[in-house]
Structure 1
Amino acid sequence: MWTKEVTDMIIAGVGETLYMTLVSTLLGYAFGLPLGVLLKVSDKEGLKPNKLLYKILDVIANIFRSIPFLILLILLIPLTRFLVGKSYGTTATIVPLTIAAIPFIGRMVESSLNEVDPGVIEAARSMGASNWQIVIKVMLVEARTSLISGATIATGTILGYSAMAGTVGGGGLGDIAIRYGYHRWQADIMIVTVVLLVLLVQLFQSIGMMIANRLDKRK
């Protein structure tokens, strides 16, 4: 039976899901963006090739991207408990979400920077720009449309991960879907949570594409 308590729970679940997703995305980019830049710069065709550094970062990114999120969630329980004092709940879930997001975002950023025309980089270098200036004022600016599109994809992926965290009491809509839709066989609650998750993904997608289109100087 649908009651006011259920409605309040769903609304709170939406808030928790947004909190986990947005904070994890921001933290993921705080570490993932530099990772992507380092991967690009240290590549054999980068601004400052460094085979050893690239190999180390490449292996680390590949290892973490290869671990399914639910397994990573369990593996990181000791670290999560150390950092936030507990291993369940929305704030605790941000830890594994962020760690899962960093290598994914790093690869997205690297891919976006690879799309920058080498001629533009060479032109900046010929005018005396330093590597730091080329990265900040040329590469990131030229790749901004692709970076925004990548951020949209990353946000949707992290949102999906946050729903998976519901299996271990991670909070949010995923937790509600598991507790009520699965364990108690309340199909109506399950359907509502799924619809809301889809709508949130579509919302992020629409906002991201709108921003990307406005920044796309080719249009």
Structure 2
Amino acid sequence: MKTQLLDLQKQRRSIYALGRNVNQTPEELTEFIENTIKEAPSAFNSQSTRAVVLFNDYQDKIWDMVLDNLKPHLKSDDAVKATTEKINGFKNGFATILYFTDMDVVHGLEKNFPAYADNFYDWSEQAQGNAQYAVWTGLAENGIGANVQHYNPLIDADVAKEFDIPANWKLRAEMVFGSIEAPAQAKDYMDDKDRFKMFK
């Protein structure tokens, strides 16, 4: 068996110590992200995933926005300090990808294929996973670290207003990426016998 993809999968990790020492330009990275998402599979070829890529001041703005929305929910000075440090870690990255699902696409499929209507949102989530994983693995192949966060729906309204997001786009995740300033920690795996079955 060829293992090039498997080797890349092992390289793709959640990297939290991110920096801005990235060799590629925003234009190169955006083109790569766009093409990778285009080639990611989706049920019925629905192509329901949308993305917004934020660099420079916009990269700062999204994480300031996250922190501003989190602070009212923090109950102590220690919580504010710890959360600020965590969010600043994301802010230190080179850029952030906001991933959305176009709900007009999902609802259109529900209407046009009523026999499968209950499944289309779940399938759009699978499309999200495919797109995010493909981009994440491709970034890792290029020596760029990333991690995925989910501050939606807390930030949805502010994101929509700030970045002129269509009302039918539903925020699903925030992927911050940048130079790898420290490696990921060791990864634990559950026992294969609790996870897999084979019949032959």
TM value normalised by structure 2: 0.27
- Report which structure shows greater RCO (CA 8 Å, sep ≥6): 2
TM value normalised by structure 1: 0.26
Higher Cα radius of gyration: 1
Q: Which has the higher strand share?
A: 2
